[in-house]
Every structure is written in structure tokens, then in C-alpha cells.
Amino acid sequence: MHDDRTLVEARLKRVLDERIRPAVYPASVPLDVAVWNAPGEPVPVAEGLAAEPVPTAVGQRWGAPWGTSWFRVTGTVPKEWAGRTVEAVLDLGFDENMPGFQCEGLVYRPDGTPVKGLNPRNQWVRIAAPAEGGEEVRLHIEAASNPVILDYHPFLPTRLGDKETAGSEPQYKLARMDLAVLDETVWQLVIDLEVLGELMHELPADSGRRHDIVRAVGRALDAVDLQDVNGTAAAARALLEGVLATPAEPSAHRISAVGHAHIDSAWLWPLRETVRKVARTTSNMTALLDDEPDFVFAMSQAQQWAWIKEHRPEVWAKVKKAVADGRFVPAGGMWVESDTNMPGSEAMARQFVHGKRFFLDEFGVENDEAWLPDTFGFAAGLPQIIKAAGSKWLLTQKISWSQTNRFPHHTFHWEGIDGTRIFTHFPPVDTYNCSMKGSEIAHAAKNFKDKGVARHSLAPTGWGDGGGGTAREMIAKAARLRDLEGSATVRWETPAQFFEKAEAEYPNAPVWVGELYLELHRATLTSQAGTKQGNRRSEHLLREAELWAATAAVRCAAYAYPYEQLDRIWKTVLLHQFHDILPGSSIAWVHREARATYAALARELNGIIDTAQRALAGEGTDALVFNSTPHSRHGVPAGGAAPATSDGEAAIASRAQGGFVLDNGLLRVEIDARGLVVSAYDLVADRESVAPGQALNLPQLHADFPNMWDAWDVDEFYRNTVTDLTRADEVTAGEGASVRIARTFGDSRMTQVLSLAPGARRLDIDTEVDWHETEKFLKLAFPLDVHAERYASETQFGHYYRATHTNTSWEAAKFEACNHRFVHIEEPGWGVALVNDSTYGHDVTRTVRAEDAGTTTTVRVSLLRAPRFPDPETDQGVHRFRHALVPGADIGDAVREGYRVNLPERRLAGGRAVAPLVSVDNDAVVVTAVKLADDGSGDVVVRFHEAYGGRAKATLALGFPAADVTVTDLLERPLADATPPALSGDTVAVRLRPFELVTLRFGRRAD
């Protein structure tokens, strides 16, 4: 037989596009349309429904950027349509290629009942099935005219990303507002042909199954009368029954489809618009659950559930019912799908505390899985946090975006820094927006790395990013793929059902140790410095607020612990750790609001701290220093307050060759006439820090124009061009032992103060940059005379080692990485730490010097970038950073100085010193939280971990009378398999493994 396969395939495409799909709605009549444009921000539903609209029509433009228009559509179902299925087809001016990225709508009945959402791939509203004829139709559409930011030519700078700069030009044109007859037979024929056509393309060209499908499709197309599609669709469908009924091979890959709508809590839209996106999507999904008995939908991010409850109670009622029925599934157990690289230890823990507690309180649901499909890499401390929250599984697919190396597994055990292992799955479908296309299902089966030992994978199914969720077409395709020869099999299942099956079939899954580094989106560690600084400072202010409020609540009868206030603030900070806010990849509006929010939270938290400290200090004139760090400081105990001791003196002198010398007896620092550090001499160890011929604190400027994803990416070729900013406008002595350096470059200005405090083996570097560059990357370089094959960077509840060399492509790909408060490099017996108060991105490289064969290890901190998409004014303006160079530092010094630079002393006049609520006798055991239990019981909760990477013994001394002690999970619930340490008087002895995390809950006794 001649091979006419390509002829049939081309025929199928044209007949579907030009004849069969248009016949899905064979008859239609226009609806009458009127519109009311809400002034300013969105209005409550009742106000929108009550507003008096003015007539408009299809073809009219509507919708200023970020505006809201309330459309009223009315009409009558024609009598002759009796017995037919009737739908309203409501096209607001959609581009079907952009679901979630443009205008959207939520349809209401006149009484305010939500019906369903409208988006580019979901434009229908069921009116009657079957219709009686003569029904009056009246619907209201709350339409959001969100502008298109990521257009067909992506990454072009646009002012549309902020309401303040977007203008008022209408963005859309009404395309269709009709009542229409739905021919369900034709609609089913479309699905039949799409499934078979897509499957056919994925099968080997010489396979018998492919040719069976080709022949069946050819016969079906022969049966379709192109002038009477509706009259001949049933006959065409009958000719496809055979090929659709052939069962899958027993060895076929098995896919658990989970209905899904990955909704970014902010990205190319502001937070307030996400509230409406969630309402639109969940309205669609609850309606779909009513129509499709096999369908299961999962939604993560407790914050988004809370938004529905708070802002859309009419939608919330439907969601609650669907959850009770077991088919609308809370997933993930986190407050938002956060970034996991940059959030600090406690913040990462609280993501799970607040997320899991919301689902437990509202629905009695405990999440066993962490659900993070789109997060930009995963810190090595995360497995322990997941386990400590009472969960045991992780799902993500973002690692499939890595540019250099293909991850070797899809199902595996992920081991964190402390040895905790989490069963992890990367869906081989390689998307969190699966639409049940044949190409997607075939890709999942072919791509699955664990063939021969495992057979299950998961497919998050539904339009995402901007929401929309699962469409009825996807469900119809899944029904045909349930058991179809040539395809993987598909079943609707919950995340838990998938993980239970996957774990049971693959108990000896391979192990991946260490971080899950995404070889992409590395610039998210630097973009939007103001947002990152707001996050870091909020985390530390929350530490202080909880510590001093708990101490005051225990010690001062008149002080009330601010439970609700702290809960609200934590949730706000956690929201802003969402993986497109904290990483700096959202529109200007999002970051403008974030900066204002962080400023407001700082005022509020400082108020809590001040009130608690004043209650503790009492009346008096003693100069008290409050120490919030986990280590003693200037004679003040950790978590306590007392007068500070003096640490000697520091001096400044002129340098013979120009510049200055700072000396405090521990460290001698030479700063040359260029304002660069040419010597940082550890007087105790008799050791120079600066590599020969080099200078520290060297500002370097790179061109920074990645191939795509401007705010997200920095491509390795950025290193090919660099300008050392060595010219100083002034180098002058400052107050105390300090030097002030001012530089200008391009349109920007940098001012630095380098200072040496008495008694400190630490050079403080305060940097202010008035930044007005475009597509540039600013770094500070520290070339150190240290031979190190690896370096440590702080992560959650510990630190993680990365190579300084590039032996393999895996190591070479980590040319920009994340740290929290410190980076540390060392040779045996001597090291250097570089600590910071608000930066995350850095790189570490090594070279061997020709002149003496010594090794120079260069640490560079990333300060600022200037991408133009999606915020064309990214980081323009003034920024302040604090870093400190700590020569002679071991890992303990790095930990201690990292806390000190982030938690400055607070000074207050008072009448009494404050003893710590909890103290620890081993600096390797670091307390990350002291607080009162969230349940309002008054119990004291203390969380701590081993921070040096070794085993540790410690005694916790309590500054209050304790009745009992319990080992708990992060949610402060007793751990059934944990033996509590013995309470001896008011002390507790503990032993910890490397990086082990422990939470203890102490009941208080009344003495």
C-alpha cells in the first residue's frame, strides 16, 4: 500500500480547523450588552451588580490597563432551540494563545451567585441542557482588563506593569457575545480526532498502530459531509470507536493526572488581581467537579484559600463543599509556593507552619506533600524542614528547565544537609500546565528516567501561571487516554494517591545529596534589591519581636503577648517570599507595593520590640544594651540585656603610599589611595588575607544582557566583559577608625565607609549606591590568599559546601549561587568569612598564581542589577548594604558575625538588666526562635539547631520555672517517636547530630 500518511494528517488538520470545530456551535443569536466601568480599583460584587451600565456592542474597545468593567448580557433562548444544549459564548477579546496572561472575567447571576470564570481557553457558560426555549438570560461579567506584559516579542520594556504608568488606552475589543447551540456530538468528534491525531504523531512512523489510526481517521473524514458536519458527525464517530477502544499495553507508563491551576500569587499582575484570579479559577473548578465525576482538582498555597474566604465568601461556600466531597484537594501545606533559596531558617519553617495549620483548621486536612512545581531551585536545608513539619514528599518540575545538565532521575530520595531524606518526584511531562495533548503524554512516557524499576508519574493538568485551571476538553481527552493502545494510561488522582503508589513501587529509589540547583534564573538572587532587603530585615525583626515579647510576657504581668499581630505579620512576610516576589521577577507595581509593605511592617515590629523592651527594662537611667543574637556580645548574654563592656581601642593613621591604616590590635587593614583594601592582616594568626598584588572591596561592573528572562537570568558570558571601578573621587578619614570612599561611574555614585571596631576581627563595609545604570551588574570582589577547594554558604539551619573549581559541568553551572548571612572559605586552621545584611547572590572562583604557585580564591558579592523587564526601572535609586570581612574566621565565627551584622544592638535606658529566657552553653547550638506557643497556652517554644556541621552537646538553661518539656514538630505538636530530654531543675541537656533541628515546648509552672 502506498504511504499516504502525511496526506491524511494534513487533511485532518484542515478539516478540523475549518469545518468541524466551527460546527460545534451551529446556531447562535447575539446577546444585548451593556457595560459599567468601575472607577479606580475593583469594587465589591454587590456594587458592580447594582451599577447602571450603558449599552455597548461587539467590536467596541474596552478596558483601560488594570481596570474593571462590569458587563451585563441579556437575551432570550429562541423557541426553536427547545431540547438543545444552549450556552452563552462570551469572548472579551481573548487571544487563545495567552490563557492567564490577559483579560479575564467572572460570571455572576443577578443574585450575586458566581457561575464560572472566563479566560481565553474557557469562553462558555452553560445556560440550559436541554433548553425549553424562551428562557430569559441575564448574566453579569466582572471583567478585568489586565494588560499583556509578556507579549509575542517577549521581554520588551513596558510601562504597563504599574497602574501609575500604564495610561488609559483601552486594551481589548469585544469579540463575541452570543447565545449558541452546542452540538455535543460534534464537540465529542473534535476530541476524538484531536486525541487520535496527536497520538498518531507520537507513534513510530512504521508502527502498525500508527497506520491503524491513519486509516480510521481517513474513513471518519470520508464520512463527514463538509456541508453538513452536524448531520454526519455521529457516523464519523462510529468509525473511530474501534481504534479508541483498543486497550493499552500492560507495560504502558501510568500517569496520575491531578487537576491543577498553578496561580502565581503575583507576577505579571499585582497581588490584588491574584485574589480575583483565584476566585475565577476556583469557580470554574467547582463547576467542573459537578459535571465530571472522575475529576480531581488540587490547589496549593493556603494564602490563596484565605483570600477566597476573606474576599469571595460566595465562592468559598462552593469550595468548602467540594473539599468536603474529597475532590477539591488542599495541596502542598505551605502558605505560598515560596522561593526556597533565600528565605531564612525560621521563615522557611513558618511557610509550613502557617500553610499546614490553615488546612488543618479549615478542613482537618494534613498535607504529606510539599508542592512546588515552579520554584527556582531548592536549598539543601529543605528536606529536614519538610520532615519537621510532618510531611514526607516533594513535587517540583522546574529543574527540567536547567540549561546545562539533565537531572538523572524523576523519582528519587532527596537528602539534605543533616541526612534527612524526602521522597521526591519530578513529573517527566516537564510542565505544570499539562493540557492532555498527545505530545505531552508521549513525552512523559519517553522522558521518564526510571523505566524498568518504576512506572508511575504525575501530570499537573490545567492552565496555570495566571490561572484558569483544568478545561473540559482536558477531561474529555483524559477519558479517552484512560486505557488506549500506544499511549500511557491516565487516571485522575490526588497527589497523595500518586505518591503512595510511586513510593510503594520504588522503595529503593536512588538518592540525590545536596541542593537541587536550577541551572537558570540565577539573577533572581540579586534583582530588586529593595524587596530582598525588606525580606531579610523583616525576618530578623520578627525574631526580635518574638524573643522580647515572649520574655516580657513571661516576666511582666501587665504585658500581653501580641499573638494575632505577629501571626498577621508573619503571613504578610511569607506572602512576599512567593517565588516571583522575593526573587525580583514581578512587575513594577508588585515591588513598589512590597517596599511600602516592608516599611510598614518595620515600623510595626519596631513598635512591638520597643514596647516589650521598655516593659523589661523598667524605669531607670542605666544604659542597657539588648542583644538579640544567639551569642553573647560585649558582655551582654544572648537574648538578654545589660550594660555593655568596652573592647579596647581602634586607631587610624595615614599610609605612606597614600590612603590609611586601621588597627585595633587584632586586625590591621591598609586602604590605598584608590579606596581599595590592599592588606587585611590577621595580627593574631600572623597571616595576610589579601592575595599578592590584589585588592579587596573592589567594585566591578559587568554588561548584563541575558538571552531572555531579563530579571531572572544572568548568562555566563556576562563575565567576558568587566570594568574594575578603581578610580576614587575621594578617600578621607571618617569618624573613629574609619575611611570614607566616594566613586562615580556611569550615571551612578557609590559611597563606602570602611571601619574597624575596637576588639573586632572584622572590617565593616557600609556601602551606599545611588544606582542609575541600565543592563549592568555590580559586584564587590574579594581576592583572598586562601587555598580552598570548597566553600561554605549559609542556608536554612546550617550551611552547604560548593566547589571552588569547575571539574564537571555540574560545578561549572553554579557560577552564581545563594548564601544567607555568610560565605566562608578556609585552609586547615585558618579561614575568612564574608558576611552580609541583605544580599544573597555571589560567586567564588579560584586561580593559581604564576609568580608563587599560590592559590587565589575570589569571593564576589552581587549588589545590583538593572534589567528592564518586567520592571523597566528595576532598582533605580539609592540602596544601602552592609558587609563585613572576617579574617581568621572559622565556621563558628562566620555564624556569629553573620548574626551580628543582621541584628544590631539596641540601646535603652532602664532600671534593671534582663536575664535571657533561654541560654545555651555551646555556641555551636544556635537558637533560631524563642516564642510563646501559637495556641495561646502560654507555653514557651524554643527552636535550635547544630550550626557548625558536627555533633554537639549543650545545656539549655531556662530563665523561667518550667513544668515539663516536649519535643515537637514545627507546628508545636508532640512527636510520638521522640524521647523528651530530662528536665533537671530549670535546665535541659541535649545532644545533636550535625545540623540537627530541634523544637522544644516548655510548659510553665506557677511558682
Q: What is the DSSP string of 673-687?
A: TTS-EEEEEETTTTE
Sole residue written with cell 486536612: 365
Contact 711, 521 (CB under 8 A): no
Which tens digits make up the pLDDT trace of 350-407? 999 999 999 999 999 999 999 999 999 999 999 999 999 999 999 999 999 999 999 9
Closest by alpha carbon to 400, among 446, 371, 431, 378?
Answer: 431
Which tens digits make up the pLDDT trace of 510-565? 999 999 999 999 999 999 999 999 999 999 999 999 999 999 999 999 999 999 99
% of the chain surpassing 90 pLDDT: 98
Which tens digits make up the pLDDT trace of 689-739? 999 999 999 999 999 999 999 999 999 999 999 999 999 999 999 999 999
Which tens digits make up the pLDDT trace of 302-358? 999 999 999 999 999 999 999 999 999 999 999 999 999 999 999 999 999 999 999
The average pLDDT across 119-148 equals 97
Cis peptide before 870 (omega within 30 of 0): yes
C-alpha distances out from residue 974 to 943, 993, 1000, Å: 14, 20, 9
Closest by alpha carbon to 936, among 564, 388, 572?
Answer: 564
Q: Kindly state the helix (H) or strand (E) to which residue 134 belongs, with its residue range.
A: none
Sheet holding 124-128, edge to edge: 27-30, 176-182, 85-91, 124-128
Contact 794, 922 (CB under 8 A): no
Q: Kindly state the helix (H) or strand (E) to which residue 274 belongs, with its residue range.
A: helix 271-291
Is 647 or 227 the better-scoring residue by pLDDT?
227
Sheet holding 790-795, edge to edge: 730-733, 738-745, 748-756, 763-771, 877-887, 830-836, 822-827, 790-795, 798-803
CA–CA dist 407, 391 (Å, integer): 24
Cβ-based burial of 407 (10 A; exposed 0-12, middle 13-18, buried ≥19)? middle
Amino acid at 104: E
The average pLDDT across 771-780 equals 98
The grid cell for 190 is: 473534535
CA–CA dist 224, 221 (Å, integer): 5
**Residue 219: CB partners within 8 Å, gap ≥ 6?**
239
Question: Is residue 855 over pLDDT 60?
Answer: yes
Amino acid at 746: G
Q: Quote the pLDDT of residue 646.
A: 84
The average pLDDT across 151-159 equals 95
Q: Quote the pLDDT of residue 208.
A: 94
C-alpha distances out from residue 828 to 789, 799, 891, Å: 11, 18, 12
The grid cell for 94 is: 481573548
Which tens digits make up the pLDDT trace of 469-509? 999 999 999 999 999 999 999 999 999 999 999 999 999 99
DSSP three-state, residue 952: strand
Q: Quote the pLDDT of residue 955.
A: 98
Reported as a pLDDT band with limits 50, 70 and 90, residue 2 is: low
Contact 809, 778 (CB under 8 A): no
Closest by alpha carbon to 296, among 489, 459, 486, 110?
Answer: 459
Amino acid at 117: G
Catalytic residue among 91, 192, 374, 704: 374
The average pLDDT across 951-978 equals 97
CA–CA dist 674, 741 (Å, integer): 8
Beta bridge partners of 222: none
**Residue 53: CB partners within 8 Å, gap ≥ 6?**
34, 35, 36, 70, 71, 72
CA–CA dist 920, 50 (Å, integer): 63
Angle in degrees, CA 787, 789, 795, rounded to 5: 115
C-beta neighbour count of 707 within 10 angstroms: 10
Catalytic: 374?
yes
Classify strands 136-145 and 104-108 as parallel, antiparallel or unpaired.
antiparallel
Contact 963, 1001 (CB under 8 A): no
Reported as a pLDDT band with limits 50, 70 and 90, residue 3 is: confident
Beta bridge partners of 298: 329
Closest by alpha carbon to 608, among 564, 557, 551, 566?
Answer: 566
CA 468 to chain centroid, in Å, comes to: 19
CA–CA dist 190, 471 (Å, integer): 15
The average pLDDT across 210-234 equals 97
The average pLDDT across 423-452 equals 97
CA torsion sign, 319 to 325 to 329 to 335?
positive
Which tens digits make up the pLDDT trace of 579-626? 999 999 999 999 999 999 999 999 999 999 999 999 999 999 999 999
Q: Quote the pLDDT of residue 4.
A: 80
Beta bridge partners of 88: 125, 179
Q: What is the DSSP string of 802-860?
A: EESS-SSHHHHT-SSEE-SSEEEEEETTEEEEEEESS--EEEEEEEE-TTT--EEEEEE
Closest by alpha carbon to 437, among 478, 403, 396, 469?
Answer: 478
Q: Quote the pLDDT of residue 1.
A: 55
